[in-house]
Amino acid sequence: GQSLEQPSEVTAVEGAIVQINCTYQTSGFYGLSWYQQHDGGAPTFLSYNALDGLEETGRFSSFLSRSDSYGYLLLQELQMKDSASYFCAVRMDSSYKLIFGSGTRLLVRP
Amino acid sequence: DAGVTQSPTHLIKTRGQQVTLRCSPKSGHDTVSWYQQALGQGPQFIFQYYEEEERQRGNFPDRFSGHQFPNYSSELNVNALLLGDSALYLCASCIRDNSYEQYFGPGTRLTVT
């Protein structure tokens, strides 16, 4: 079967750095995406990694290690508005669907 | 530039009834996917439409069906509603093979009583 594991909750202080990990077990792998979802809102695309390494987009960075079936999302200079749920999602080979993890709820404290 | 739109926003139905949800994709997008999201869970893939055909389907029963129109908009139909179908139904659009980057609509909150 397919499975993605993320921590259920993470708490951090405003201005700090936080890392949200994602490990996956899927039959075939094409790439790893990250989405942000505020309460009552729609998921919004943050980043995508198809190759090993770090992708940086402003305060957010995403990392992938295909050999370890592992990725993470790094959020720097945390702001209160970053309080949301973060989902990793896998696209498998020869597939068009995204398989989402259960999400990590990030709480940013002042 | 209009994003993904969905209607209705909220819906209350009774067990056994049928429901139709609607979605208009982001301008320039030709592919529409539907997801079901239970409270506190990640979105679960229902199916994807491209060129008016169902291109891929997730682990959902045949009670869930869909359609894509020539203007790329889409409908999700659910027959014989069960209490367990209560969830947020999300529509997402993308450009053909870029399914890793999907744009989601605000969703339809379906409550089955």
Residues A66-77, mean pLDDT to the nearest whole number: 96
Give the pLDDT of residue B1.
66
Cβ of residue A101 closer than 8 Å to a chain B Cβ: yes
Percent pLDDT > 70 in chain A is 99
Compute the radius of gyration of chain B from its Cα atoms: 13
Mean predicted lDDT score pLDDT of chain A: 94
CB-CB under 8 Å, B107 with A42: yes
On whether any CB of chain B is under 8 Å from the CB of A56, the answer is no
CB-nearest to B42 from A42, A48, A100 is: A100
Per-residue pLDDT tens digits for A3-24? 899 999 999 999 999 999 999 9
Q: Which residue has the tokens 């202080």?
A: A13
Mean pLDDT of all residues in A64-93: 95
Q: Report CA-CA distances (Å) from A11 to A36, A79, A85.
A: 16, 12, 12
Res B8: pLDDT: 97
Quick check: A43 and B99 CB within 8 A? Answer: no
pLDDT of the residue at B100: 85
Q: How many CB pairs under 8 A join A and B?
A: 63
CA dist list (Å): A81 to A85, A92, B63:
11, 31, 39
Which residues in chain B show pLDDT less than 70?
A: 1
Q: Chain B residues with CB inside 8 Å of A62's CB?
A: none
Q: Name the pLDDT band for A54 (thresholds 50, 70, 90).
A: very high
DSSP-derived pairing of the beta strands B108-112 and B10-13: parallel
